[in-house]
Structure 1
């Protein structure tokens, strides 16, 4: 039995692991950064990052084992090279799990941002369809191990990869739409929203591109591993997408502030009320923006010092929001203590 073309059987897998390794190094950096800077996050999000990291590590190790078996252990074994083996199944399973975890997180983030249940359910349906395609493809891989039987996988492969492209592009599109609407309203938080927009475009485009390239290469030559090489880094891209969306909050800790809060101001002083823009770093979804205006208005009346009465404080607070964004504008003030005020000291 003659050897199959090694360039499209083992060579492409080797190149796929090279690209996957580079992304995995970046993923490790992002993981360390997350746990060092966001210790206050809810345990659910820490568990999500931990599980995704472990699953992706298992997937990466499985890819290395697959290449080693093909190129070293069974080098020159035509029968082995002409079939699929358990590392491919491991790759399919782990990639499907990572896709569900990260895409579900992004859909939840979109729903929390907009409360648009209809679109969120539609995206969830796409996630279920994608997972069904992977599950069916895994069953076919168990039943038909020969590379010559790869053309039989066309329906589950198309179901998986087309739905992957659709879900990734759909999530990126709806998030971009909402972020751009919020950006047009919240001028003080445009820098943070610009970061979120950039992360959304990069991550969504990367995942959709890999899935699309894998689908096209599969239909061009289903009996080769070129499509697998394109899809090897997909799991790393999903985890990096998750971490990038969480780590973008770091910039919020040093958000610029306009105005100062030192000293009281009066209605006749001509000074503007202090303003600050606050990014809710306690929100692990990293999408809630709270522009805040702190106002303290004091009216000083002609009082008899002997009465030792405090100044009259007019305090008001209200909340308002745009129809299509969750931003809040709050006006707050704190009562001045009698002991701290020297306006009426004798």
Structure 2
């Protein structure tokens, strides 16, 4: 029976791991809707859509295990073919990745306003999506395992583009965050936490994408890459929730859960879709002077919000 470890055992284990990740996704979804009931409807729509796609992919994962191990068990000819669950989970998981990566690219653009880098990152995401669609179409047309080579080029385009997009988006966010120099210890500490969180979330999907790519290159007739593909959708969704739900955590670390705005409703600071760094005002110690003198002591820098000296208030992350 050991001959079935690769074809059936790998996808069975992959479905178990995907189920565990799906449980974590449901937990994070509950936290999100409980903590942020006033979030914009567009953001909630992104979350709901991603969860529905991920749920459809999980059903396809189960079906892809059930068909060869139960329905067609003992039928040598039937178990050597690929059926509708394969193109379904490939397409659904990739769609989740496109939604989450688009959200992260939007965050990068809001922070940097660098349209060139955003276009490049979007090109990798679109190329990966196109590759996955070609893989799904090829599998639908040529269902036999012996014909998997026909999808080799499109599979390589899909996996390489996806891995490149994940790594590039994480690197772009880290690079931009490192260039933010506020001059205030508290604000800089929060930015450093943002960098660490970006590394943690970006590395997870990147590692799985790279493992999938390497395993496919080493042995493309194995089901190990298939098992890895099961995990991509839930991991992307956990990345999305990780970015959304940690806002409350960072608010408590920054010491305030409140953001301010002027009379026109414009926030008094810099905002990156969840990151809001308030500006500070500079006041001279001498109340008779309206403009601070050059070379004035740094201790005269006063936070307009908190009244503390030498600090900056960071909220709404």
User: Same fold judged by TM-score > 0.5?
Assistant: yes
* Aligned Cα root-mean-square deviation (Å): 3.1
Match of 2:278 in 1: 290
Query: 11, 14, 20: which is aligned to 1:13?
Result: 11
CA distance in 1, matches of 2:87, 2:42: 28
Q: Which has the higher strand share?
A: 1
Measured after TM superposition, the shift of residue 69 of structure 1 is 1.8
Of residues 17-26 and 230-239 in structure 1, the stretch that sits farther from structure 2 once superposed is: 17-26
Check conservation: 1:98, 1:238, Cα contact below 8 A: yes
Equivalent-residue separation in structure 1 for 2:289 and 2:79 (angstroms): 81
Moved more, 194-203 or 209-218: 194-203
**Structure 1: runs of 5+ lacking an equivalent:** 259-278, 300-312, 317-328, 334-346
| Residue number in structure 2 paired with 1:53 | 51
CA apart distance, 1:4: 10
2:89 aligned partner: 91
**2:80 is matched with which residue: 73, 82, 94?**
82
* Structure 2 equivalent of residue 322 of structure 1: none
Range with greater deviation from structure 2 (144-153 or 219-228): 219-228
Q: What secondary structure sits across from 1:232 in the alignment?
A: helix
- Secondary structure of 2:180's match? helix
Name the residue aligned to 1:307: none
Query: Residue in 1 aligned with 2:37?
Result: 39
Q: Distance in 2 between matches of 1:36 and 1:283?
A: 23
- Distance in 2 (alpha carbons) for counterparts of 1:298 and 1:190: 29
Give the deviation of 1:60 after TM superposition. Answer: 1.1
Q: TM-score, normalised by structure 2?
A: 0.81
- Cα deviations across residues 189-247 of structure 1 (Å, max 9, x unaligned)? 24433332222212221112111111221222222211101111000111111111111
- Whichever structure has more helix as a proportion of its residues is 2
In structure 2, which of residues 155, 159, 162 is the aligned counterpart of residue 161 of structure 1?
159
Structure number with the bigger relative contact order (C-alpha 8 A, sep ≥ 6) is 2
**Residue matched to 2:295:** none
Note the C-alpha offset of 1:100: 1.0
Corresponding position: 1:137 with 2:125: no
Contact 1:98 / 1:235 at 8 angstroms: preserved in 2?
Answer: yes
Distance 1:76 1:184 in 2: 67
CA distance, structure 2, for counterparts of residue 15 and residue 283 of structure 1:
42
| CA-CA distance at 1:40 after TM superposition | 2.0
- Are the structure 2 counterparts of residues 292 and 38 from structure 1 closer, same or farther at C-alpha, using a change threshold of 3 Å? farther
1:146 aligned onto 2:144: yes
Report the 3-state secondary structure (helix = DSSP H, G, I; strand = E; otherwise coil) of the residue aligned with 2:160: helix
What's the TM-score, normalizing by structure 1? 0.75
Rate the CA distance shift 1:88–1:186 in 2: closer, same or farther, 3 A: farther
- Partner Cα separation in structure 1 for residue 2 and residue 140 of structure 2: 21
Kept after mapping to 1: 8 A contact 2:22/2:234: yes
1:4, 1:81 within 8 Å by CA — same for their partners in 2? no
Contact 1:45 1:284 in 2 (8 A): no
Q: Distance in 1 between matches of 2:74 and 2:183?
A: 64
Question: How much has 1:288 moved relative to structure 2?
Answer: 3.0
Q: Which residue of 2 aligns with 1:116?
A: 114
CA contact (8 A) 2:130 2:158 kept: yes
Corresponding residue pairs, total: 288
Equivalent residue, structure 2, for 1:203: 201
- 1:234-266 Cα offsets, whole Å, 9 max, x none, are 0011111111111121123324459xxxxxxxx
Change (3 A) 1:110 1:72: same
Check whether the contact 1:296–1:314 (CA below 8 A) recurs between aligned residues.
Answer: yes
Is contact 1:96-1:134 (8 Å) kept? yes
User: Structure 2: any 5+ residue segments left out of the alignment?
Assistant: 257-266, 292-301, 307-317
**Cα separation, 1, equivalents of 2:45 and 2:38:** 13
Note if contact 2:101-2:125 (Cα within 8 Å) is conserved in structure 1. yes
Q: Which moved more, 1:217-226 or 1:179-188?
A: 179-188
State whether residues 9 and 81 of structure 1, in contact with CA within 8 Å, keep that contact through their aligned partners in structure 2: no
Q: Distance in 1 between matches of 2:211 and 2:305?
A: 53
